[in-house]
Structure 1
Amino acid sequence: MGQVFWPNSVAAEYECRGYWRRQLLGDLPKKWAARHGDRVAVVDDHRSLTYAELAAITERTAARLLRSGLRDGDNLVLQLPNSCEFVALLLGCMRAGIAPVMALPQYREHELVHLVRTTDAAAIAVAGQDRGCDYEQLAHRVAEMSDRRCRVLVAGEPGLPASVSLRPALERRPTAAREEADGTGTPPDLPSPLPDDLALLLLSGGTTSGAPKLIGRTHNDYEYNFRRMAELCGFDERTVYLAVLPAGHNFTLGCPGVLGALSAGGKVVLVSSPAPEAAFAAIDRHAVTATALVPSLAQRWLDSVAGTRSDAFGLALVQVGGARCPESVVTGLQGAFGCTVQQVFGMAEGLLNCTRLDDPARIVRGTQGRPISPGDEIRVVDAEGRPAERGELLTRGPYTPRGYFRGGTHNSRSFTADGWYRTGDIVRRHPSGNLVVEGRTKDLINRNGEKISAAEVEDLACLIPGVRAAVAVPVPDPATGERLGLGVVLRHGNGLDLDQVRTFLTGKGVARFKLPEYLHVLPEIPLTPLGKPDKKKVRDFLLADRSVETV
């Protein structure tokens, strides 16, 4: 257990109003196949699958997982790159009643151990070796630190005898004899979860108290999440959606993303690199019509076309989210690609806001949209909780859970007693009714849409020999939005440089995107009148110090 559910009366209202359709996500591939059959559903750098093939592989993968010793109700840490295997394993998990935990490919021991222990995961599924990382070896190291038996499942050919291969289930058309030998045939007793059961676990962008929190999403609420977004984005059978950001991100997965495109009968193209040359080649090859970017990646794309008109690609829609998008980037995308741009402001905790496809250009450039559902409730409040035109955004609704998965004391801080989620985002209401994001109350660094917990970095930095205290702060940057700066106080007689900090944290298994990019040695931590670390002063020191170390 650990999931916080909506009150029964609220759940009944959401069903009555048609938001929740009691649709099991693991049953969707069969329904999609019945409608779209031999049309291509997903394609990656190496293979493609039709809707019929995806449905068959979903069933075989579910069977393989259960015959490997997993059970209905288990959790599985899913760490695969953008690929057909990712989609098939995601759906296979949900067909078997197993909740996939969306781990990012750049995660290492530090993050993965937290996920495994918090979710009591029964397995970790990885790709084997990819981009210089031996994920199979990494998974076994993490599994050894689990509090229970944790299996290592490999989408490719295992390199270690203790690993379980998923390849037989993920092949396009294994023979009946092969299915029998490898135990991938569909047994007659695949479980049937309930629509309000846990379907998957997304990760928060980070917290003020350390490692990311887990967000349990049910079949009911997440199906509505991507269905409603697909409606607003005009997705249909002609849609070709390009997944360039990690598919495990909520934005790429269900806003409307991979699942929204499939639910509309479109085609999903998954690429392993978001670099302009790789993405543009995929757009051209597959006649891509829609994609989703973070602002920094959008700027990279713009830089690569150098102001030339590139609408020959046929891109109809580019979503930009993950961080507030500069107006210049919105205008640049419209000019360079001749596409509609949609700003998306949302969170894995639920609430999604977006500009509409027919909004005036000034609204698209200057706001982050409005809630997608009539069932979304929002409040903007000041520090005392009073209604305000500018203040913290609170929300609740049909796809915003009422608490974190096994959230403990986090839930009492982040959710009110009557179910309002405190987003930590500072917004103001635009005359159009849309929201404009102006900052946040939570202590996070937003680098390329990845939210880095300052507290987590500070705790890790204090493990470095010779460091007495540490303060992590965001440093404004036009390319990434923010970069991670670190101020440290050293014990007497010690020295420290940025390379040493990054080497130490890498040795601790910390993801690369969490490594500090600036370092400043402080005599003492500056304090506010209330005795709290004055992070504004630390940031100012970093900005003013001409000898600041950077990478």
Structure 2
Amino acid sequence: MASMLDGCTPWPEEFVDHYWAAGHWRGNTLDNLLRGWALQYGPRTALVHGASRLTYAQLNRRVDRMAAGFRGRGLRPGMRVVVQLPNVPEFVVTAFALMRAGLVPVFCPLSAREPEVPELVRAAQAVGYVGPSTHQDFDHTVMAAGIAARWPFLRRVFTYEAPGTESPYGGLTTDPSNCQYAPLGSLDAPPEPALPLGAGQVAFLLVSGAGVLVPRTHDDFAYQATAAARSISLTEDDVYLTALPADVDLALGAPGVIGALSAGATVVLADVTDPAVCLATLARERVTVTALTPDTARRWLDALSAAGPALSALRLAQIAGTPPDRATAERIGTALDCRVQQVFGTPEGLLTLTRPTDPDDPALATHGRPLSPDDQIRLVDADGAPVPDGTPGELLARGPHTIRGYYRAPDHDARTFTPDGYLRTGHLAHRTADGNLVVTGRRAGRT
């Protein structure tokens, strides 16, 4: 296994050997998997956003050229780049291009402002920032300039402009703090030879609920996304709508964008949450699978009578929330004539979910079972002792897609991980008599 990014905690060697022997980890980087998908599904549609469409082959070519563009701007393997973009094709292209260039994307919620984004740049020691120049009347470029003035290691800012708008940066410019600015679209250069990247290396960093950085490796995330895709029998005939922000774990890999691409499916990106727009998109693109929060699901249901064309293609709606919202699940299953899958996940990697073949009771009222047969789950009381089935306890987990430590956060690691490597999630859960988990909320005093 290749050495991890400095400041990260690797899995113990005996676990690495077991995950390889079990076939969970395959030694392929996410960007190299995209190359294979492009060969396998080349002319099929990979991404849809409004009237825009990209085939798998086009997506891979754009990733190649943007990766070369990043390297041409002096960014080197191992450097971190904060990515704060809406659900647009540029998010997917940028994420894969950074990984292909050996860089580490740091996915930042689009809603984050001061002080979260500057702190994220500081914690990651990010040399680059990719974001919209403005979004919903907020000037991200001004924010980036302020961060560059505060943290001198931020030296490259790339701005995304929605189609039809003019970039304020017609070419590369430099501000008084010596930070360079350029349109994201200017990162277009002839492809370069592939870098020898290791699948055990960190692919990207997510933001945890406590605001610390979560390092996800190529091996662990590829396994999570593809296993989640298999769990719902995703195929190249499916159309997956990304309605949740694409920077969160569930929308990225449960199965999310990466899981859908692994199956040759079409990913439809929705960068607005307006129910009328999303429902029209479901009908127009004949979406078969999507993931929602309970609040979003209820808004969709309230607007359903005005949706127009029938949504008969939808076969599965994932509901991600705690506790399981049975009433909303039953309502959406009836109104949209589809199966409902309850899902609970964390940026750290734990993913537990019902299966489409489960009977109604567990499917509607529990979070099902862990994704991997090698996920290890404990439910413990305040003293760390196991609790019996039916009794609430804190949910602890370790497995082939659950991290062993945060990025450069040893004090947080000491509080959050047990000496034998279990993640203390801070969530309360109980196990039903038939072995399903019900996550009910956060434990008092845990963030």
Q: TM-score, normalised by structure 1?
A: 0.75
Decide which of 63, 81, 90 is 1:85's aligned counterpart.
90
Alpha-carbon shift at residue 442 of structure 1 (Å): 5.1
Alpha-carbon shift at residue 191 of structure 1 (Å): 2.2
Counterpart check, 1:2 vs 2:4: no
1:432 maps to what in 2?
434
User: How many correspondences in the alignment?
Assistant: 426
Amino acid of the residue matched to residue 28 of structure 1? L
Counterpart check, 1:165 vs 2:183: yes
Q: Which has the larger radius of gyration?
A: 1
Amino acid of the residue matched to residue 44 of structure 1? H
Distance 1:314 1:249, change over 3 A: same
Contact kept, 8 Å, 1:427 with 1:437, in 2: the verdict is: yes
2:178 maps to what in 1?
none
Deviation string, structure 1 residues 322-344 (Cα, Å, up to 9, x no partner): 43232110110111000000000
Query: Residue 225 of structure 1 aligns to a residue in which SS?
Result: helix
1:139 maps to what in 2?
144
Where in structure 2 are the equivalents of 1:45-444 lying within 5 Å?
Answer: 45-156=50-161, 158-160=167-169, 161-162=173-174, 163-169=181-187, 184-188=189-193, 190-205=194-209, 207=210, 212-305=211-304, 312-389=311-388, 390=391, 391-441=393-443, 443=445
Deviation string, structure 1 residues 339-368 (Cα, Å, up to 9, x no partner): 000000111111100011011111112111
Q: d(CA) in 2 for partners of 1:70 and 1:312?
A: 45
Amino acid of the residue matched to residue 157 of structure 2? V
Decide which of 11, 16, 19 is 2:21's aligned counterpart.
16
Q: d(CA) in 2 for partners of 1:341 and 1:310?
A: 21
Amino acid of the residue matched to residue 355 of structure 1? T
Query: Residue 378 of structure 1 aligns to a residue in which SS?
Result: strand
1:36 maps to what in 2?
41
Alpha-carbon shift at residue 166 of structure 1 (Å): 2.4
Q: d(CA) in 2 for partners of 1:266 and 1:83?
A: 17
Q: d(CA) in 1 for partners of 2:43 and 2:328?
A: 39
Contact kept, 8 Å, 1:308 with 1:336, in 2: the verdict is: no
Q: d(CA) in 2 for partners of 1:308 and 1:114?
A: 41
4+ long deviations beyond 4 Å: 306-311
Q: d(CA) in 1 for partners of 2:109 and 2:154?
A: 22
Alpha-carbon shift at residue 279 of structure 1 (Å): 0.4
Contact kept, 8 Å, 1:42 with 1:268, in 2: the verdict is: yes
Amino acid of the residue matched to residue 164 of structure 1? A
Alpha-carbon shift at residue 23 of structure 1 (Å): 0.9
Deviation string, structure 1 residues 190-214 (Cα, Å, up to 9, x no partner): 4222111010001112x3xxxx111
Deviation string, structure 1 residues 90-122 (Cα, Å, up to 9, x no partner): 100111111111101111121111110001001
Q: d(CA) in 1 for partners of 2:359 and 2:258?
A: 28
Structure 2, unpaired ranges of 5+:
1-5, 175-180
Distance 1:220 1:315, change over 3 A: same
Distance 1:436 1:166, change over 3 A: same
Higher relative contact order, structure no. (Cα contacts within 8 Å, ≥ 6 residues apart) = 2
Deviation string, structure 1 residues 232-289 (Cα, Å, up to 9, x no partner): 0111101100011111011111110011000000000001112211101111111100
Query: Residue 115 of structure 2 aligns to a residue in which SS?
Result: helix
Alpha-carbon shift at residue 135 of structure 1 (Å): 1.9
1:499 maps to what in 2?
none
Q: d(CA) in 2 for partners of 1:443 and 1:48?
A: 46
2:3 maps to what in 1?
none
Distance 1:308 1:87, change over 3 A: closer
Contact kept, 8 Å, 1:425 with 1:442, in 2: the verdict is: no
Q: d(CA) in 1 for partners of 2:426 and 2:410?
A: 18
Distance 1:166 1:38, change over 3 A: same
1:459 maps to what in 2?
none
Query: Residue 109 of structure 1 aligns to a residue in which SS?
Result: coil
Deviation string, structure 1 residues 108-140 (Cα, Å, up to 9, x no partner): 121111110001001000122222222222222
Query: Residue 317 of structure 2 aligns to a residue in which SS?
Result: strand
Q: d(CA) in 2 for partners of 1:399 and 1:149?
A: 31
Distance 1:308 1:72, change over 3 A: closer
Q: d(CA) in 2 for partners of 1:49 and 1:329?
A: 34
Amino acid of the residue matched to residue 101 of structure 1? V
Alpha-carbon shift at residue 290 of structure 1 (Å): 0.6
Contact kept, 8 Å, 1:295 with 1:323, in 2: the verdict is: no
Distance 1:145 1:322, change over 3 A: farther
Query: Residue 53 of structure 1 aligns to a residue in which SS?
Result: helix
Alpha-carbon shift at residue 144 of structure 1 (Å): 2.0
Amino acid of the residue matched to residue 182 of structure 2? V
Amino acid of the residue matched to residue 423 of structure 1? T
Structure 1, unpaired ranges of 5+:
170-178, 445-452, 454-551
- Larger CA deviation: 44-53 vs 394-403: 44-53
Q: d(CA) in 2 for partners of 1:129 and 1:252?
A: 23
Contact kept, 8 Å, 1:25 with 1:199, in 2: the verdict is: yes
Alpha-carbon shift at residue 45 of structure 1 (Å): 2.3
Identity among equivalent positions (%) equals 39
Contact kept, 8 Å, 1:109 with 1:142, in 2: the verdict is: no
Distance 1:416 1:443, change over 3 A: same
Alpha-carbon shift at residue 417 of structure 1 (Å): 1.3
